[in-house]
Amino acid sequence: MIMEKKGPVTELLERVAVLEQLTSALKNDYLRALADFDNFRRRMERDIEEKQRAGVEVLMSELLTVLDNFERALNTPVDTNVEAMKQGVRLIYQQLCNVLERHGIKGYSCLGEEFDPRRAEAIGFVETNEVGDNRVIEELCRGYECNGRVIRPSRVKVSKLKNKSQETIEESEISGEKEQSKS
């Protein structure tokens, strides 16, 4: 057998052909992995949507039970004892609170605490010196959180210290009114 000696160009062409095959194989592997990842992403999105839908369905079925109880309460005869009706509404309210709590929703109160804008929304301010500055003195609506995250802040009135000049003016007006009423 006679071996042909290959020239440098032939060797380079063979090397290029081998590298092109390798590149083609790697490109195919890359495209296959990209398609697999895309399919995985779509499957995960579908699974997440399905779990969310199932969670909503569970919550709604529990809320429908509460709704049924409200309908029964509304359909009771008008001549029913008021105290019995109040007790029924309290029980339905407690049932609703229990359903919400099972799903991670809890009410909270900010009354008496220092105002925190992350947990409360100030609806108004009340000038007073009876409590410290920036304290929640009235709560108009309770706040609610879901798994530790505020979903509805409390709606509150916040204390604001009266300034001394305003207090002095009000005291003089009150004492002036008392003197006029005595005359």
Domain ranges in the chain?
A: 64-103, 105-183
| Residue 153 contacts residue 177 (beta carbons within 8 Å) | no
pTM metric for this prediction: 0.63
Positive or negative: CA dihedral 40, 45, 49, 52: positive
| Residue 118 contacts residue 102 (beta carbons within 8 Å) | no
Tens digits of residue pLDDT in 168-178: 555 556 655 65
Tens digits of residue pLDDT in 3-33: 677 788 888 999 999 999 999 999 999 999 9
Residue 30 burial (CB < 10 Å; 0-12/13-18/19+)? Answer: exposed
Tens digits of residue pLDDT in 88-138: 999 999 999 999 999 999 999 999 999 999 999 999 999 988 888 999 999
Determine the pLDDT at residue 77.
83
| Separation of alpha carbons 124 and 95, rounded Å | 33
Q: When comparing pLDDT for 149 and 176, which is higher?
A: 149
CATH topology of domain 105-183: Nucleotide Exchange Factor Grpe; Chain A, domain 2 (2.30.22)
